[in-house]
A and B are shown apart, each in its own frame.
Chain A
Amino acid sequence: MHALVVDDSRAMRSLLRSILGSLGIDVAEAADGRAAIDAVEAGPLPDLALVDWHMPVMDGLELVTELRRRKEWRHMAIMMVTTESEHENMVRALLAGANEYLIKPFSPDAVLEKLSLLGLSPEPVPVADARGDDTLR
């Protein structure tokens, strides 16, 4: 499975790469929406794009809109991964074509559960590797 992580924060890209990598998923990165489009065009076509909202050059909402404009990319699952948590903006992202929404901060388990909701089943991993203790921090 291929995933594209789109976030202007290097630390966040690295965190998501680490979580997805531990699930056996190949990860490519882009630092803004424009770079993400370039990456998708260059291939391989990702099964999943994880998209931040607030980014320079082209933001996440514009990116989702652009990705959904292209028929040949329609099978790509899109999950917003963002601090943007206003209700109306969540609705805008879903209406634009995002399939899921993960609010920062999140635990590794939450990523795994969202993949399951998207019908994307990564290779099984040992429970200890997927375990988070998110509620106690």
Chain B
Amino acid sequence: MTTATAEDFRFLQQFILDRSAIVLADEKQYLVETRLLPIVQRVGAESIGDLVRAIRSGDRELETAVVDAMTTNETSWFRDAAPFDALRKVILPEVVAANVVRRRLSIWSAACSTGQELYSVTMLLDAEFSEVASWKLDLHGTDLSSAVVEKARSGRYTALEINRGLPAPHLVRYFRHEGSFYVIADALRNKVRFEPFNLARPWPPMQDYDVILLRNVLIYFDVETKAKVLEQAKAHLRPGGFLLLGTAESPRGLVEGFQSVPAGGTTVYKKEG
């Protein structure tokens, strides 16, 4: 998946300014990729450049989709309370207990955006599951956009980003202040790894996970791709492992072999067998 060229970005800066009066600063190029690559996938285009060409040629539907994508909200820490309650109360206690002999735990944030979800899980483990501190942890974040992955790796966030749902005790415990940025503590950052990954393409050989977070990404795929992604996610979950989807998403009718488990006010999906 190609990244946005400088020319594409300049066009989009002007386009978003004209259409929404929002100024897209030069350092926000990563946001263009976070927000627009899902549209690239959904419409079957090859690149952000294709979107730009379609907008230039007057594709109104695409114009609206791009403006919407660029003007809605950024991800939050502990985004949506329910999935994190599910992790805290049901999923992590169960997978930690199941792995107590192996002393290994692997969690994959498969559409990690700028890293808030995976760092939030890492904070939760550190704060409330101290027994895993000496385990071999694989906390893995992936996203379609390499620019977004780079930002996740950097662990640097603005005040606006840090204000979004991060409890103050976590802010003082897990971040340091550097100029106008808040930087995730090395102890936390050293526990995670981030890589670009395209869920819609055939997946390379990879390890199995205890928990896969695949939230709010299936909505961008057609039914066939959704089913393929879910099949592959199931194949890479350990038996008894958990899949977390977005509120509006479900494996029902797309893939067999998951048991629906009510947890923390939401429904999570446990791999049978």
Alpha-carbon distance between A116 and B76 when the two chains are bound, in angstroms: 13
CB < 8 Å A-B pair total: 80
Count of interface residues, chain B, beta-carbon cutoff 8 Å: 30
Is B23's CB within 8 Å of the partner chain A?
Answer: yes
Given A101-B171, A131-B73, verify A136-B163 contact (CB < 8 Å). no
Is A129's CB within 8 Å of the partner chain B?
Answer: no
Residues of B within 8 A of A109 (CB): 73, 76, 164
Q: Are B160 and A113 in contact (CB under 8 A)?
A: no
Residues of B within 8 A of A9 (CB): none
Alpha-carbon distance between A135 and B163 when the two chains are bound, in angstroms: 11
Residues of A within 8 A of B64 (CB): none
Residues of B within 8 A of A69 (CB): none
Alpha-carbon distance between A109 and B80 when the two chains are bound, in angstroms: 12
Q: Are A136 and B70 in contact (CB under 8 A)?
A: yes
A residues 88-121 touching B (CB-CB < 8 Å): 90-91, 94, 98-107, 109-110, 113-114, 116-117
Alpha-carbon distance between A91 and B172 when the two chains are bound, in angstroms: 7
Q: Which of B76, B163, B171 has the most CB of A within 10 A?
A: B163
B residues 9-38 touching A (CB-CB < 8 Å): 16, 20, 22-24, 28, 31
Alpha-carbon distance between A116 and B164 when the two chains are bound, in angstroms: 11
Is B127's CB within 8 Å of the partner chain A?
Answer: no
Q: Are B159 and A86 in contact (CB under 8 A)?
A: no
Residues of A within 8 A of B20 (CB): 133
Count of interface residues, chain A, beta-carbon cutoff 8 Å: 29
Alpha-carbon distance between A98 and B31 when the two chains are bound, in angstroms: 33
Alpha-carbon distance between A136 and B81 when the two chains are bound, in angstroms: 24
Given A85-B177, A133-B72, verify A106-B165 contact (CB < 8 Å). no
13 A-B pairs with C-beta separation under 8 A: A85-B159, A90-B171, A103-B163, A105-B159, A107-B160, A107-B164, A109-B164, A110-B164, A113-B76, A113-B163, A131-B72, A135-B160, A136-B16
With A87-B177, A102-B163, A114-B163 already in contact, 12 other A-B pairs whose C-beta atoms are closer than 8 Å = A86-B177, A91-B172, A101-B168, A106-B160, A110-B165, A117-B165, A117-B167, A131-B73, A135-B31, A135-B161, A137-B22, A137-B23
